[in-house]
Structure 1
Amino acid sequence: MKLKKSDQGLKWVINLFFVIISLIALFPILSLLLSSFRPSSELMRNGISLTFDPSSLNVDNYIYIFTVAGNYWDWYGNSLIISAITIILSLFFSSMVGYALALYDFKGRNFLFMLVLFILMVPFEILMLPLYQLMISWQLINTYTAVMLPAIVAPIAVFFFRQFALGLPKELMDAARIDGSTEYGIFFKIMLPLMTPSLAAMAILQGLGSWNNFLWPLIVLRSNDMFTLPIGLATLLTPYGNNYDVLIAGSVMTIVPIILLFIFFQRYFVTGLTVGGVKG
């Protein structure tokens, strides 16, 4: 079926609109990328912008990061480890909790769900002090565990998986029970594969949150070799000198894992958010 000329014109207008929006969204990233090849003197003179002297572009900032800045790669490795483990554990535990709240009838289920919603509405700044005292009592200060523990069962992830699991067919559970499958077998072999879109969407969101997390790691981490990337890059700005050129180059490198994570899971991202958002 061929589109009418008016429909084709409308389609072109819509596509052009979204192209313009995409270019506007990419403008800060492009400016940051170009600025990472500029020397510190030009950055101080012109700032982060698309206005630059082509002859001044060089790769000295990246050479410094790859060869001299040893701590940078320690910070990078710490962020990768913390983010990867946080994503895996958060998806595992949060999906189980959300699945149970959605598909099992037990006493206190609604109360637990209301408790999840209540915690979701509490700002993290209010919980920082009790969590910090808890980490001290458990002797977890300056460890990966202290950074990851509050995010392993995130209320937003539990709520998201609960909403998605409400749309799963209970008939599959009944059929599996008739065939002699255990409840864990039903979850891991039948239901969890059906939740793949929600897992992919939450992997991106949890990964982005963990990778960019600054405040909580700043509170519980002490030694320089344990810092994550946001904290490590912040240490480059001091009262005695600001390495803006290295800071910008290091910031560009931090974008790479998030882009790869989104590319890997993007085919499920929209489906996971859409389906999970309309169930209930």
Structure 2
Amino acid sequence: MASNKKNSSLTWVASIGFLLISLIILFPIIGLIISSFRPSSELMRDGITFSIDFSQLNLANYMYIFQEAASYWSWYGNSLIISAMTIVLSLFFSSMVGYALAVYDFKGRNLFFVLVLLILMIPFEILMLPLYQMMVGAQLVDSYFAVVLPLIVAPVAVFFFRQYATGLPKELMDAARMDGSTEYGIFFKIMLPLMGPSMAAMAILQGLASWNNFLWPLLVLRSNGMFTLPIGLATLLTPYGNNYDILIAGSVLTIIPIVILFIFFQRYFVAGLTSGGVKG
């Protein structure tokens, strides 16, 4: 009985602690949301603050974005398309590579896995120049594929799927082979559904990374109509004028897709991360 009370007390303390941590993390977002309703003059004078003058709050910033900022929605659409392409292609190819490294015994498998780990240690800034030269040579600059192609087989995703696939039951593969199933059939019909939690977790991580990606799209996208949201919003800050009001309101709207993505996959997120982290 005393043990149950102690566990209950620890649960309450942990819950309160996590709630306080969550509130601290949410403070910048709350300040951003409040500031998105404030006029530009007040933002320039006071900056982002938690002091609320309700008489100054209005929807002018959002009305401008919805009615007059056509470029913003072009950037928004580009980011959605690029993020969707990155998630789908990255999950497809990275899961296949990670699965192959985990379940098949072929010559050079360990060497290939070591190379994946080595690539994880190389900063992306070192790889940008050769990747950019490849995109120029393939005449893909200023296109969606220029942004997506270098990211579709992400080393971190390969490592993650490999770790998860090592825990999949090999008996199912043997049974499927005895029934005459092909290796592709085993993967797509049997093993891939079992990798659902890992796919959901990596969808969130890859989607978040692609949505916030700034440096690589900045290199390969040249026209305003192809800009993603991070690049487009950065163009609002110039030596000739800083549209902080539109920038902040536009930044608030960029949170929505990531929140939707997390809500959609959140029930698998923790399971996918923990399973991928302990097996292997």
Determine if the TM-score, normalized by the shorter chain, exceeds 0.5. Answer: yes
Partner of 1:14: 14
- Residue 229 (1) aligns with residue 229 (2): yes
Could you say if the C-alpha distance between residues 4 and 279 of structure 1 is closer, same or farther in structure 2, counting changes exceeding 3 Å?
closer
User: 1:57-115 deviations in whole A, cap 9, x for unaligned?
Assistant: 00000000001000000000000000001100000000000000000000010011011
Paired with 1:78 and 1:14, the residues of 2 have a C-alpha distance of: 41
Deviation at 1:4, TM superposition (A): 3.9
Letter in 1 for 2:51: T
Shift of 1:52: 2.7
In structure 2, how many angstroms separate the alpha carbons of the residues matched to 1:130 and 1:246? 36
Q: Distance in 2 between matches of 1:14 and 1:229?
A: 37
User: How far apart in 2 are the matches of 1:114 and 1:198?
Assistant: 21
Partners of 2:47 and 2:36 in 1: how far apart?
11
* 1:69 equivalent in structure 2: 69
Number of residues of Structure 1 aligned to a counterpart in Structure 2: 280
Give 1:185's aligned residue: 185
Helix, strand or coil at the partner of 2:181 = coil
What's the Cα RMSD here?
Answer: 1.1
Q: Which runs of structure 2 are paired with 1:42-121 in the superposition (5 Å)?
A: 42-121=42-121
Q: TM-score, normalised by structure 1?
A: 0.98
Query: Deviations 1:201-248 (Å, cap 9, x if unpaired)?
Result: 000000000000000000000000000000000000000000000000
Equivalent residue of 2:67, what SS?
helix
Alignment partner, residue 163 of structure 1: 163
Within 1, Cα distance between the matches of 2:222 and 2:85? 20
Q: Give the alignment of 1:145-164 within 5 angstroms.
A: 145-164=145-164
**Which AA in structure 1 matches 2:57?**
L
Q: Take 2:211 and 2:26, find their aligned partners in 1: how far apart are those partners?
A: 20
Match of 1:82, as an amino acid?
A: I
Q: Which consecutive residues of structure 1, in runs of 5 or more, have no partner in the other structure?
A: none
- 1:2, distance to aligned residue in structure 2 (A): 8.9
Tell me what 1:175 maps to: 175
Taking structure 2 as the reference length, what is the TM-score of the superposition? 0.98
Distance 1:23 1:179 in 2: 54
Cα deviation, residue 7, structure 1: 3.3
- Distance in 2 (alpha carbons) for counterparts of 1:64 and 1:219: 29
What residue identity is the alignment partner of 1:185?
A: G
Q: How far apart, in 1, do the equivalents of 2:202 and 2:246 lie?
A: 32
Aligned to 1:265: 265
Cα distance in 1, alignment partners of residues 141 and 5 from structure 2 = 66
- Structure 1 residue 5: Cα displacement: 3.5
**2:108 alignment partner AA:** G
User: Aligned residue for 2:36?
Assistant: 36
- Aligned pairs for 1:126-145 within 5 A: 126-145=126-145
Letter in 2 for 1:129: L
Query: What does the per-residue CA deviation read over 1:104-145, in whole Å, with 9 as the maximum and x for residues that have no partner?
Result: 000010011011111111000000000011111111110100
* SS of 1:54 mapped into structure 2: coil
Paired with 1:134 and 1:45, the residues of 2 have a C-alpha distance of 47
**CA–CA distance in 2 between the matches of 1:68 and 1:150?**
34
Structure 2: gaps (5+ residues): none
Deviations 1:136-190 (A, max 9, x none): 1111110100000110000000000000000001100000000000000000000
User: Which whole-Å CA distance do the structure 2 matches of 1:189 and 1:182 have between them?
Assistant: 10
Counterpart of 1:122 in structure 2 is 122
Return the alpha-carbon distance in structure 2 between the equivalents of residues 186 and 2 of structure 1.
Answer: 51
Tell me the SS of whatever aligns to 1:56.
Answer: coil
Q: What CA distance in whole angstroms lies between the structure 1 residues aligned with 2:33 and 2:21?
A: 19
**1:44: how far off?**
1.3
Deviation at 1:3, TM superposition (A): 6.3
